[in-house]
Structure 1
Amino acid sequence: MAELFDTSNPQLTASDHKIIAFFTNHPQLAPFLSISEVTETIGISNATLTRFAKKTGFANYKELKQAWLTQQRISPSKKLEKRRQEAAPFESANAFIQREIQHLNETAAHLQGETLQQAARAITQKKQVYVFSKGATKALGDLLYFRLNRFGIAIQHLCSSGSEIFETLAHITSQDVLILFGFGKIPKETSVILSYAKEHHITTLLFSDQLYYESHEPTLHHFYVSRGLPDTYHSLTTAIALIDAFIVEVSHLAPEAYQEKLQQLHTLKEQYKKEIPR
Structure 2
Amino acid sequence: MAATDLLRSGLERFGRRDQQIARYFIDHAEEIPFLSAGEIAETLGVSGAAITRFAQRVGYEGYPHLQRVIRHDLRATLGMKQPGGRDSVVARFWASERGNLETLQDLPEATLLAFARAIARAKQVWVVGARSSYGISLLAETILSSFRPGVRAYASDLLLSRPEQLLDATPDDVVIVFTLRRYSRATTRMIRALHAQGVQVLLITDQGASPLSKIAHQSLHLPTQGTDVLASLAPFVSVCTLLASLVAQELEGGHLKQAETLNAEFAVYEY
Same fold? TM cut 0.5: yes
Partners of 1:244 and 1:203 lie apart in 2 by 21
1:137-156 alignment to 2 at 5 Å?
137-156=133-152
In the TM superposition, residue 112 of structure 1 has moved relative to its aligned partner by 2.4
Whether the aligned pair in 2 keeps the contact of 1:184 and 1:230 (CA below 8 Å) is no
What is the identity, as a one-letter code, of the residue corresponding to 2:219? H
Match of 1:32 in 2: none
* Structure 1 residues not aligned, in runs of 5+: 1-10, 20-37, 49-85
Cα distance in 1 for residues equivalent to 2:134 and 2:192: 21
Structure 2 matches for 1:218-229, cutoff 5 A? 220-228=217-225
Give me the whole-angstrom Cα distance separating, in 1, the residues matched to 2:91 and 2:228: 20
SS at match of 1:103: helix
Letter in 2 for 1:262: L
Taking the aligned partners of 1:230 and 1:185, their CA distance within structure 2 comes to: 16
- Tell me the TM-score normalised to structure 1 length: 0.61
2:49 is matched with which residue?
none
1:1-278 correspondence runs (5 A): 39-40=29-30, 43=31, 87-109=84-106, 111-162=107-158, 163-211=160-208, 215=213, 217=215, 220-228=217-225, 232-255=229-252, 257-258=253-254, 261-273=255-267, 277-278=270-271
Distance apart, 1:237 and its partner CA: 0.9
What is the alpha-carbon distance in structure 1 between the residues aligned to residue 20 and residue 110 of structure 2?
Answer: 29
Cα displacement (A) at 1:142 = 1.3
Question: Mean Cα displacement is larger for which, 182-191 or 261-270?
Answer: 261-270
Mapped to 2, the partners of 1:91 and 1:236 lie a distance apart of 20
SS in 2 for 1:161: helix
Does the aligned pair in 2 maintain the 1:158–1:168 contact within 8 Å?
no
SS at 2:168 equivalent = coil
- Contact 2:134 2:154 survives alignment (8 Å): no
Query: TM-score scaled by structure 2?
Result: 0.63
Q: Check conservation: 1:180, 1:205, Cα contact below 8 A.
A: yes
- Contact kept, 8 Å, 1:131 with 1:179, in 2: the verdict is yes
CA contact (8 A) 2:144 2:151 kept: yes
Shift of 1:236: 1.3
The alpha carbon displacement at 1:215 in A equals 4.3
| CA spacing shift, 1:89–1:263, aligned 2, 3 Å | same
Mapped partners of 2:199, 2:114: distance in 1: 14
User: In structure 1, what is the Cα distance between the partners aligned to 2:176 and 2:220?
Assistant: 11
RMSD after superposition: 3.3
Shift, 1:196, TM fit: 1.6
Number of residue pairs matched by the alignment = 201
1:124 and 1:153 in contact (8 A); partners too: no
Percent identity, aligned pairs only, is 21
Q: Structure 1 residues 208 and 230 mapped into 2: Cα distance closer, same or farther (>3 Å)?
A: farther
* Alpha carbons of structure 1 residues 200 and 276: separation in structure 2 relative to 1, 3 Å: closer
Unpaired stretches in structure 2, ≥5 consecutive residues: 1-18, 34-39, 41-82
Aligned equivalents of 1:262 and 1:194: distance in 2? 29
SS in 1 for 2:136: helix
